[in-house]
Amino acid sequence: MWLLLAVVIVVILFGSVLYKRTFTTKELALTGVMAALSLVAYLFFRVPFYGGSSFHLGNTFTALTALLLDGVSGGLAGAIGLALADILAGDPGYAVTTFVLKFIIGITCGAVAHKVFKLRDLDRHSKGYLLKVIVAGGSGLLLNVITDPFLGYFRNIYIFGQEYTVAQALSKIAGGVTFVNSVASTICVVILYLALRPALERAGLLPKGEKSKPLISF
C-alpha cells in the first residue's frame, strides 16, 4: 500500500510539473489515498464478466475525488489507481484506455461540480443540493457508458487484434456492464460525499469555495 502511494505521488508531481498544476500536501495525500482505494476496490472486489468486463466500484473514488477536490485530482486518482490495477491484475492491454477513460470521468465530474454547480459554495441544507450532488457525481460516470465501449472497440481491434464483429459484440457487452457500474458507483459517490464533506471541511482538508476566500482590496 505504501509503495502504491509513493508511485501515485511521484506520478502526480510529474503531471503537475507538465500541466503547471500545483497540489497542496493535503490534496496530494487525499488524491493518493483515493487512487489506492480505486485500486483496492477493483483488484480485490470486482466480479469478472464475459469478454474482459467486470462489475466493480473502482470508479466511485474517481468521481468522489473530483467532487471533494477538483477534476484534475479526480482524474489522476482514477487514472493512476485503476491503470495500475489493470497491470497488477494481468491485463496491461487495458491500462492505456483505462487511464484515458478515468481521467475523462474525473474532469467531467469536476467541471459539473465546481464550474456549473459551485458545490463548495452551496450550503448542504439548501434546496436542490442533493440533486446537484447526484448530477455532478453521475455526469462523468454516465459519460463513461459511452466512452468506455467506444474506446474499447478500437482497443480490441488495434491492440488485441480482434475481428471487427467480435470487437463490436464485446463493446456492446461492455456498455451494459459499464452502465450497471456507473449507476452503482453514483449511489456510492453521493453517500460518501454527503458523509465525508462535513468531516473533511472541519479537518481543513478541502479547498475553500469562492465565497470563503478573502477579498483582495487595493
Predicted local confidence at residue 52, as pLDDT: 67
Quick: pLDDT tens for 117-166: 999 999 988 999 999 999 999 999 999 999 999 888 888 888 778 887 87
- Cβ–Cβ under 8 Å, residues 143 and 136: no
The angle, 0 to 180 degrees and rounded to 10, between the axes of the packed helices 71-88 and 59-68 is 160
End-to-end CA distance of the chain: 48
Confidence grade of residue 217 (pLDDT, cut at 50, 70, 90): very low
Domain ranges within the chain, ordered by starting residue? 24-47+55-205
Predicted local confidence at residue 159, as pLDDT: 76
Q: Which of 14-18, 22-26, 145-149 has the lowest mean pLDDT?
A: 14-18
Predicted local confidence at residue 10, as pLDDT: 59
Q: Which fold has domain 24-47+55-205?
A: Arp2/3 complex 21 kDa subunit ARPC3 (1.10.1760)
Task: Locate 137 and state its grid cell.
Answer: 457525481
Q: Given the C-alpha cell 469536476, which residue does it identify? A: 110
User: Is it the case that residue 215 has pLDDT exceeding 60?
Assistant: no
